[in-house]
Amino acid sequence: MGRDLSLAHGQEIMQSGNSIDTAAKPEDMLLSIVESGIEQVPPEFIKPPHERVSRLDSEGPHEQIPVIDLAMLDDKGAGKRQVLAEIVRACEEWGCFHLINHGVPAQVMDAAMDATKRFFALPAVEREKYRMTKIGGKGYGQAYVGKAKDWNDRLFLTDFSGEEEPNPDRGCAFSYDLVLTNPPGAQEALASYGEAMHKLVQITLALLSEALGQTPEFLSSKLPSLFGTVLTHYPPCPQPDLVMGLAPHEDGGIFTFLQQSNVLGLEVLKDGRWVPVQPVAHAFVFMVADLVQIVSNDRFKSVTHRALAGPIARTVMANFTATVKDAVIQPAPELCSDRNPPAFRSVVYKEFLKYLGTTDLHVHRLEAFRLRQ
């Protein structure tokens, strides 16, 4: 992780037009505000009526997002063909799926989630020692879009500013930028988690490539991958209908792996309705992001998603995969033809991120890059 890191949702939040308040007082952090015993939502978190959750658009029975079992890859014949077919269907129809038997050990996931929850349970004075010191840097901070803050606090394990030099003493293939010495044992738990997630990213890039009918190296050749993690805590909210845990959006990278706790809160948009994503123990929610939609020439869809606030605290671990700033993002020529011409114009990733960071529209932003036939 070094100066060229420009990761998906984490990076775009830092661009002008969105905010991180690095000069806020400790009591201005949401978790500290909640811990003070509030009974009403502070004005700065209240969303305009049109941005609040409408319970009507998610009422009634829902089809659940697909579940894909990587244990079937043990069968290199029919099993693998079935996995690839399921990935195609999920990415075309949903833009997301639950991934199980993915190779990240359950004990590694549990230890990392426990470390995350223990961090947010630290006294405010201890959390403040990790306060983010520069826009997009590693550490503890708030990120929000629009005029009202989203109802969450975050811990960035990865430096998203692009300014930090790589650590030359790293002894493994992957390491986070943040050194977390408190709570005890957190650094070790998160290091193991990051290494395992990094491996899963490489496996997934190959599977998505084959699902697109290409060689396993296809996406890696088009999009040199970079990886980072953001830990997000949604404190209990006394008036959840007035706020948004995380505003509706699509991620601006390659794809995202989300590890949920056992508290409901994530919703994805499917056919005009918001579908609650039920937590599945030791599964990841895989979400297609913008760059895969572009490179796949509009075949695999970047999923619109949001997070609700509620009366019970919720903690998640978001693992983002994106690419280097100077990468040229465009529909792959191998996936274009006379019958299926390019759907999007080419754009350099740093310019793409600049656009994502300056627009007030956080849903269907890819439309600005679509070529009209």
pLDDT in tens, the chain (373 residues): 443 444 445 555 433 233 344 444 555 799 999 999 999 999 999 999 988 886 555 555 668 999 999 999 977 788 999 999 999 999 999 999 999 999 999 999 999 999 999 999 999 999 999 998 877 789 998 765 556 789 999 999 998 766 655 444 444 567 899 999 999 999 999 999 999 999 999 999 999 999 999 999 999 999 999 999 999 999 999 999 999 999 999 999 999 999 999 999 999 999 989 999 999 999 999 999 999 999 999 999 999 999 999 999 999 999 999 999 999 999 999 999 999 999 999 999 999 988 987 876 678 899 999 998 6
- CB neighbours of residue 257 within 10 Å: 22
> What is the rounded CA–CA span in Å between residue 232 and residue 311?
16
Query: Pick from 53, 42, 57: which is nearest to 241 by CA?
Result: 53
- CA dist list (Å): 87 to 214, 310, 334: 14, 32, 19
CA atoms within 13 A on the CB side of 26: 10
The whole-number pLDDT of residue 61 equals: 62
Residue 209: per-residue pLDDT: 98
pLDDT at 362: 75
In 289-340, DSSP assigns E strands to 305-307, 314-323, 328-329
Supply the pLDDT for residue 22: 41
Strand order across the 314-323 sheet: 67-69, 96-100, 284-288, 255-259, 314-323, 225-234, 153-156, 139-141
Predicted confidence at residue 329, as pLDDT, reads 97
The DSSP annotation for 146-214 comes to SSS--S-EEEESS--SS-PPP-TT--SS---S----SSTTHHHHHHHHHHHHHHHHHHHHHHHHHHTTS
CB contact at 8 A, 4 and 162: yes
Quick check: 33 and 42 in contact, CB under 8 A?
Answer: yes
Q: Extract the tokens encoding 310.
A: 């509620």
Say if residue 197 is exposed, middle or buried (CB neighbours under 10 Å; 0-12, 13-18, 19+).
buried
Sign of CA dihedral 347, 348, 351, 356: positive
CB atoms within 10 A of CB 279: 18
Residue-level pLDDT at 53:
86
Can you give the pLDDT at residue 364? 86
Please tell me the distance from the alpha carbon of residue 344 to that of residue 294, in angstroms, as a whole number. Answer: 6
Residue 270 is predicted with a pLDDT of 94
CB atoms within 10 A of CB 303: 26
Distances (CA, A) of 97 to 8, 85, 90: 19, 13, 6
Structure confidence at residue 359 (pLDDT): 75
CB 281 within 8 A of CB 259: no
Q: What is the pTM of this model?
A: 0.91
In this prediction, residue 173 carries a pLDDT of: 61
Contact status, residue 124 vs residue 32, Cβ threshold 8 Å: yes
- Give the C-alpha separation, 147 to 158, whole Å: 26
CA separation, residue 27 to residues 90, 132, 199, 264, 357 (Å)? 43, 15, 39, 27, 27
Of 307, 172, 305, 200, the residue nearest 257 (C-alpha): 200
Token pair 């003493």: residue: 169
> Can you tell me which residue has the tokens 């490179």?
295
Give the pLDDT of residue 159.
86
What is residue 357's predicted lDDT score, i.e. its pLDDT? 78
Note the pLDDT of residue 356.
85
Strand pairing category for 347-348 and 328-329:
antiparallel
Determine the Cα–Cα distance for residues 253 and 11; give it in Å rounded to an integer. Answer: 9
